[in-house]
Amino acid sequence: MTTNKVLLRQWQLSDVPSLVKYANNPNIAKNLRDAFPNPYTLENAINFINMANSKEPSAIFAIDMSGEAIGGIGLHPQNDIQRMNAELGYWLAEPFWGQGIISQAIVDIVAFGFRELDINRIFAIPFGSNIASQRALEKAGFTLEARFEKDTL
């Protein structure tokens, strides 16, 4: 999948150096779930890439700019009564913030999700303090359904 600035593609083991370089940032980790490690090590990168590529079909992609992985984006199908839903998760390397990259990547992965996965709803749960992520979702066409007044940050 390509955007005018970036390509969404499968993660490769050759992405380990850039993944560690960009993901090892407390400004990234503070806006993600606790499963995203900080510090982010070589071992974390290898384990993540292997996990992302073990899914069938894989819906976890590298955000690639000029051959370098500068972030990640994925759809995580739910189960049980929420089985027709997928949670959207994403992060972008700090040097690339504010350029519209993540909003376009969101548009691209949403199109992929509805085309390739057996789902009828995609949702995201950005932290209330992460205004930039909320704006990126709105720019990509998401509608605010609820706001959590208390945040873990």
pLDDT of residue 1: 62
Enclosing H/E stretch for 143: none
Is a pLDDT exceeding 80 seen at residue 4? no
Domains and CATH numbers, the chain: 7-139 (3.40.630.30)
Is a pLDDT exceeding 60 seen at residue 34? yes
pTM (2 decimals)? 0.91
pLDDT of residue 153: 52
Q: pLDDT tens digits for 64-74?
A: 999 999 999 99
Question: How many Å is the maximal CA-CA distance in the chain?
Answer: 41
Enclosing H/E stretch for 73: strand 68-77
